Structure 1
């Protein structure tokens, strides 16, 4: 099967480094991961040839990386908790602090991301509620093998993932695609670096749940 015919989610699983390429070209491999590469490129109006060449240059297989498709649910859930839930809880308070500082000091400067701190506070509340539901309800069902009972909560979590994707889009709009203006201060640059990391982490988090963990509830 050609790379263009494969889904974004499959390519992220098969080729370490594909997620970085998709981030760079703003291809949504988490909530939009079921679309083929060809469909995603057409939707963005992107030339397929150079992006396919980038993907073909990536190594296949996982070597030192773990192929999470082969991990049992307990191990995958532990990874989700330590690599993403814990990290998000550390990321967002600091990003909110930095955003408040930038908005306070640079509120009259063109390009100031006015409203960003409020958006991040809302996102933190929504994400915390989401993670608690996973930790208290959904993940225990997977760990106990209650896959039939997990199907309903999975649908709720998938809908909330769409909301998280919309939040990332709004952050992108407020920040010129998370691009600091020329001459931005150290705080401003640190804020945007953190926002880029949050976006990458959250998209990978959603990808692992939507495409690797959640389908196990549908057996």
Structure 2
């Protein structure tokens, strides 16, 4: 993945595993300020754009070590480590979010709308993963390259939709920042929602940057 200072922090935060946390540590917003370039965001945070780019490049290198070498093994890894995990986590996250919203509705930092957002993610991401499992992955396992160009383009587009959901998740939760005195349910909600968010970024990175390029020269 090529990195440039002109790329937006919103795009990078949802494309590179660990970038969102890096931005949070530096006080850089990638939901409301997601249209800022890496250069602009770094300067505003009092950082060197070159140093920020170097940190991001280190994250890209680290992310590439997760992928199994064989395509069939990588697909199996995506199914079991990410698809199955996303489904299970969303089932538990949605009622927990609804509970926190209901109990703490009057709190100024309550994540109002989070349960509805997670429901939308569950629907969109569920449909996306189903299409991969019943159509895209079997074509890849057969190495049917002529049939893969358009489905891969569609999957990349759907990843962009999920990236928008992740930016909204960051906004609704205030970067998963817990208010003072947050109850255990609120703490569990943000811990697990952040883990889900980080996992989804890793999932999409493995597909966009490692799996898909094995079948097409297209890059994000």
Which residue does 2:145 correspond to in 1? 147
Following superposition of structure 1 onto structure 2, how do residues 46-65 of structure 1 map, counting pairs within 5 Å?
46=43, 47=47, 48=49, 51=52
Cα distance between partner residues in 1 of 2:88 and 2:39: 37
Q: Provide, for residues 125-154 of structure 1, a one-character-per-residue CA deviation record: whole Å limited to 9, x for no partner.
A: 111100000000000011001012111110
Cα distance between partner residues in 1 of 2:205 and 2:179: 31
Which residue does 1:178 correspond to in 2? 176
Change (3 A) 1:53 1:138: closer
Cα distance between partner residues in 1 of 2:141 and 2:165: 30
Which residue does 1:93 correspond to in 2? 91
Structure 2 residue corresponding to 1:158, chosen from 153, 156, 159: 156
Which residue does 2:41 correspond to in 1? 44
TM-score of the superposed pair, with normalisation by structure 2 = 0.76
Q: Retained in 1: the 8 A contact 2:93–2:192?
A: yes
Which residue does 1:113 correspond to in 2? 111
Q: Provide, for residues 183-216 of structure 1, a one-character-per-residue CA deviation record: whole Å limited to 9, x for no partner.
A: 1110001100011101110000000000101112
TM-score of the superposed pair, with normalisation by structure 1 = 0.77
Following superposition of structure 1 onto structure 2, how do residues 8-47 of structure 1 map, counting pairs within 5 Å?
19-20=17-18, 23-25=21-23, 41-46=38-43, 47=47
Local SS of the residue matching 1:123: helix
Local SS of the residue matching 1:108: coil
Change (3 A) 1:110 1:210: same
Q: Retained in 1: the 8 A contact 2:42–2:52?
A: no
Q: Retained in 2: the 8 A contact 1:91–1:198?
A: yes
Q: Retained in 2: the 8 A contact 1:148–1:217?
A: no
- Structure 1: 5+ residue runs without aligned partners? 8-17, 28-38
Between Structure 1 and Structure 2, how many residues are aligned? 193
